[in-house]
């Protein structure tokens, strides 16, 4: 038997929606087997991972809390991924964004100006964009691969964070913990849903998603970006350049990640910590792909991934699973999704006659 | 041992895991496949190698198991990138996340456990030389890796097998027209890269720092990928690059020897910063990059 893939003239709609569901089911099945092989209560683990996040208002609100940054970052990354500009350093851009936003409350811990919060948000977003901008500049000017540069910048950002929290920015009354002072009220985002930790950054993330959708569907700029990245030569003849696709993709990606970082320190954390990001920057890559690089799809996949994060926390307690289990699950999810994506783009033809 | 001798000796050892992984990736990329999952495969190899060596006290078994683990993970990558013609960047990232997750999961029960460092071999006469003698007193893997670099250079440039691998990478359609099975050759190249990355991880966890700590690979897989670019897809230049990064990762020792006190975070960032710098310097020569870059790198091929 010979299996061949024939490229479809148009993407298959039914498969487009089925692919994430199939990927999720296969990832569940595989991890079930894997957890069982490791001697963990597999059923309990899967229940904690996938269902418990939706049991009770508190769990749901925590999912919404995690969904914000994932959605924000993934929307930014998807712009680049659609144009074949691969920013995989959102984690570092988030950290730098969080750092820049924290500078104000760290140096003015008693500050009460109503301008403090907007300034922090702006500094965070700009900081993230600037960090990603380094990669854009190096790619455009020196042809340096943005995948490697953004990743290296993330590793450096982590060291900068460690340096500040172990040294100059360490809370002098913090019992030597590597964390900053707790922020004053003027540096904190207002709560959106009373009684929970969900703040108004969720609205911002949804707004950004709507904007991303409009930009992709209805604006010429979105189209230019796509062509600039996908077919640099064709784009140049048409008057827009690969360089612009690189700049726009990386700056917007960095901006969103920086914004997410600022919203974390001004939101649920209320201070700068070493664990300012629990892998949001990396998970957002998976969120972007699972959402089909589509702004609306990303809203759904961000919700799913956020649930997985909360589920992972639950599973740590109830099924004695390490945090890493979440990453295994995420990796499996993307593996199966990429495999099922093939069926969106291709028709599978089984040929039973043997080749002569 | 003087501090200089210590640095010389340490450079080779620090370069070895980078070199093992980069040589594997060299073969993979020369065949036209971009595998960005090296970091994950190294991490998995490190965990598997450590667990097996810890339980069997046989480093050889640890290396073999690590090679198999890296190979197994690379086959998952091959399934996506070659079988399903998925985007190779995305497939590599998926494998990376999966490998890092599996690595933590497998290593978890042995967190902070240590192994005995293996004995070193001294090359007679050479090891007795003043100062540079330390270069010739290393563990076996260091010598084997250097020998392997020579073998890979010879195979790529002076053998029929190397010619086939390069043909598949430069022009897969022409290679197929000549009767070569492009996907099979690519699969073998990916598998080789995976096994090498697995062993690179085992070297890092069982010999270089024989202690299990989660996240111990710390970007070395990515530096290995970058090394292939710096070395502009040539084995000799990759060896040189790996030695440079080996020396850089000893930045702390070197700074201490020079009598300067720098924050440890700055020293830890040094290899990453230099990676960016080198990428910019080497890639900016667009003509040379175009001449050396594997023509079909990262592009799926319908077999």
DSSP strands (E only) in chain A: 2-7, 346-351
Residue A1 pLDDT > 60, yes or no? no
Residue A350 scores a pLDDT above 80? no
Q: In chain B, what residues touch A89 (CB-CB under 8 Å)?
A: none
Task: Give domain status of residue A17, yes or no.
Answer: no
* Residue span of the structural domain in which A131 resides: 67-288
A120 within domain boundaries: yes
Q: B255, exposed or middle or buried, with CB in 10 Å at 0-12, 13-18, 19+?
A: middle
Residue A213 inside a domain? The answer is yes
CA–CA dist B276, B269 (Å, integer): 11
Express each pLDDT in A143-193 by its tens digit.
Answer: 999 999 999 999 999 999 999 999 899 988 888 888 999 999 999 999 998
**Cα(B31)–Cα(B41) distance, rounded to whole angstroms?**
19
Specify the pLDDT at position A356.
Answer: 44
Give the C-alpha separation, A259 to A96, whole Å: 10
Q: Mind listing the domains of chain B with CATH numbers? A: 3-292 (1.10.3470)
Global ipTM? 0.91
Query: CA-CA distance, B136 to B129, in Å (whole number)?
Result: 9
Q: A168-177 as b/e, with b when 16 or more CB fall inside 10 Å? A: ebbbeeeeee
Chain A residues whose beta carbon lies within 8 Å of the beta carbon of residue B214: 324
- Does the pLDDT at position A9 exceed 80? no
A153 to chain B: which residues are within 8 Å by CB?
A: 272, 276
More confident residue, B197 or A14: B197
Give chain B positions within 8 Å (CB) of A144.
276, 279-280, 283-284
Interface residue A144 vs chain B (CB under 8 A): yes
**A chain contacts of residue B269, beta-carbon cutoff 8 Å:** 155-156, 159-160
Lowest mean pLDDT among A17-31, A55-69, A97-111: A17-31
Please indicate whether, in this complex, the C-beta atoms of A147 and B79 are within 8 angstroms of each other: no
Considering only CB atoms, B101 lies closest to which of A328, A338, A339, namely A328
Write down the pLDDT at residue A352. 66
- Asked if residue B172 lies in contact with residue B301, where contact means CB atoms within 8 angstroms, the answer is yes
Kindly determine whether residue B86 and residue A167, on different chains, have CB atoms separated by under 8 Å.
no
CB pairs under 8 A between A and B: 142
| Nearest chain B residue (CA) to A163 | B265
Task: Say what the pLDDT of residue A325 is.
Answer: 84
B85: left (phi over 0), alpha (psi -120 to 50) or beta: left
Contact A155 B219 (CB under 8 A): yes
What is the pLDDT at residue B125? 74
What φ, ψ does residue A274 adopt, rounded to 5°? -65, -35
B97 and A331 in contact by Cβ < 8 A?
yes
* Mean pLDDT (whole number) for B56-60: 93
B95 contacts in A (CB within 8 Å)?
331, 335
Residue A26 lies in a domain: no
Residue A155 C-alpha, separation from nearest chain B C-alpha, in angstroms? 7
- Which of A31-35, A283-287, B176-180 shows the lowest per-residue confidence on average (mean pLDDT)? A31-35
Residue B89: which of A142, A147, A156 has the nearest Cβ? A147
Higher-pLDDT residue of B78, A345: B78
Give how many domains chain A has, as a whole number. Answer: 1
A36 touches chain B (CB under 8 A): no
* Low-confidence winner among A11-15, B172-176, B235-239, B254-258 (lowest mean pLDDT): A11-15
DSSP A9: S
Strand positions, DSSP E, A109-213: none
List, as ranges, residues 188-247 from A with C-beta within 8 Å of B.
none
Q: Tell me whether residue A117 is in a domain.
A: yes
* A positions 267-326 inside 8 Å of B (CB): 282, 285-286, 289, 322-326
Cβ separation A331–B94 shorter than 8 A = yes
| B8 vs A98, residue with greater confidence | A98
- Residue A233: its pLDDT value, please? 62
The predicted-structure confidence for B247-259, as pLDDT tens digits, reads as follows 888 876 777 777 7
For residues B130 and A32, which has the higher predicted lDDT (pLDDT)? A32
> What distance in Å separates residue A144's CA from the closest CA in chain B?
5
Tell me which chain B residues have a C-beta less than 8 angstroms from the C-beta of A329: 101
Question: Do A341 and B99 lie within an 8 Å CB cutoff?
Answer: no
Residue in the structure block whose two tokens are 């920086």: A258
| Residue A202 CA: distances (Å) to CA of A185, A189, B219, B294 | 19, 11, 32, 44
Domain membership of residue A304 (yes or no) is no
In a domain, A38, yes or no: no
Residues in chain B within 8 Å Cβ distance of A288: none
In a domain, A6, yes or no: no
Provide mean pLDDT across the span B38-63.
96
Residues A28-56 have a mean pLDDT of 85
């Amino acid at each position: 038997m010979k299996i061949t893939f024939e490229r479809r003239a148009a993407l298959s709609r039914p498969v487009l929606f089925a692919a994430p569901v199939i990927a999720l089911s296969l990832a569940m099945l595989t991890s079930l087997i894997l957890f069982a092989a490791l001697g963990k209560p597999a059923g309990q683990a899967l229940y904690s991972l996938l269902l418990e996040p939706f049991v009770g208002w508190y769990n749901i609100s925590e999912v919404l809390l995690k969904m914000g940054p994932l959605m924000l970052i993934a929307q930014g990354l998807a712009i680049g991924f659609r144009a074949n500009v691969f920013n995989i350093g959102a984690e570092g851009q988030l950290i730098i964004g969080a750092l820049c936003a924290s500078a104000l409350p760290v140096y003015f811990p008693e500050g009460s100006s109503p301008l403090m919060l907007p300034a922090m948000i702006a500094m965070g977003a700009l900081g993230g964009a600037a960090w990603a901008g380094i990669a854009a500049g190096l790619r455009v000017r020196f042809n340096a691969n943005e995948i490697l540069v953004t990743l290296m910048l993330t590793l450096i950002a982590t060291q900068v964070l460690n340096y500040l929290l172990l040294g100059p920015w360490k809370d002098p009354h913090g019992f030597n913990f590597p964390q900053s002072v707790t922020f004053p009220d003027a540096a904190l985002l207002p709560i959106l849903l009373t009684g929970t930790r969900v703040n108004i950054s969720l609205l911002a993330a949804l707004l950004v998603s709507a904007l991303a959708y409009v930009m992709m569907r209805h604006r010429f700029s979105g189209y230019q970006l796509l062509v600039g990245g996908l077919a640099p030569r064709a784009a140049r003849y048409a008057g827009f350049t690969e360089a612009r696709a690189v700049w726009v993709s990386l700056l917007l990606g960095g901006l969103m990640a920086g914004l997410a970082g600022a919203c974390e320190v001004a939101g649920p954390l209320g201070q700068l910590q070493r664990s300012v990001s629990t892998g949001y920057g990396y998970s957002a890559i998976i969120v972007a792909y699972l959402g089909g690089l589509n702004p609306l799809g990303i809203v759904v996949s961000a919700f799913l991934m956020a649930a997985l994060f909360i589920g992972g926390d639950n599973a740590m307690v109830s099924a004695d699973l390490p945090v890493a289990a979440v990453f295994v699950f995420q990796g499996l999810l993307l593996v199966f999704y990429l495999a099922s994506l093939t069926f969106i783009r291709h028709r599978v033809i089984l040929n039973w006659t043997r080749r002569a | 041992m003087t501090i200089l001798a210590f640095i010389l000796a340490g450079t080779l050892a620090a370069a070895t895991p980078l070199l093992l992984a980069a040589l594997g990736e060299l073969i993979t990329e020369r065949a036209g496949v971009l595998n960005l999952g090296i970091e994950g495969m190294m991490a998995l190899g490190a965990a598997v190698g450590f667990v097996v060596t810890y339980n069997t006290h046989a480093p050889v078994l640890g290396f073999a198991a690590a090679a198999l683990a890296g190979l197994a993970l690379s086959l998952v990558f091959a399934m996506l990138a070659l079988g399903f013609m998925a985007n190779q960047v995305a497939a590599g990232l998926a494998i990376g996340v999966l490998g890092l997750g599996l690595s933590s999961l497998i290593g978890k029960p042995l967190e902070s456990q240590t192994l005995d460092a293996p004995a070193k071999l001294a090359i007679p006469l050479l090891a007795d030389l003043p100062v540079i003698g330390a270069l010739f007193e290393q563990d076996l893997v260091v010598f084997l890796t250097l020998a392997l670099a020579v073998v890979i250079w010879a195979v790529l440039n002076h053998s029929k097998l190397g010619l086939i691998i390069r043909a598949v990478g430069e022009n897969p359609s022409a290679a197929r027209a000549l009767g070569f099975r492009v996907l099979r050759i690519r699969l073998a190249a990916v598998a080789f890269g995976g096994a090498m990355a697995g062993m690179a991880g085992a070297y890092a966890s069982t010999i270089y720092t024989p202690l299990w700590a989660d996240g111990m690979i710390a970007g070395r897989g990515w530096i290995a990928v970058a090394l292939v670019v710096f070395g502009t897809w040539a084995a000799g230049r990759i060896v040189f690059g790996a030695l440079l990064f080996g020396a850089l990762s000893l930045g702390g020792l070197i700074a201490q020897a020079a009598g300067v006190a720098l924050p440890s975070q700055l020293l830890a960032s040094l290899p990453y910063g230099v990676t960016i710098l080198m990428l910019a310097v080497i890639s900016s020569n667009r003509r040379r990059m175009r001449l050396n870059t594997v023509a079909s790198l990262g592009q799926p091929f319908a077999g």
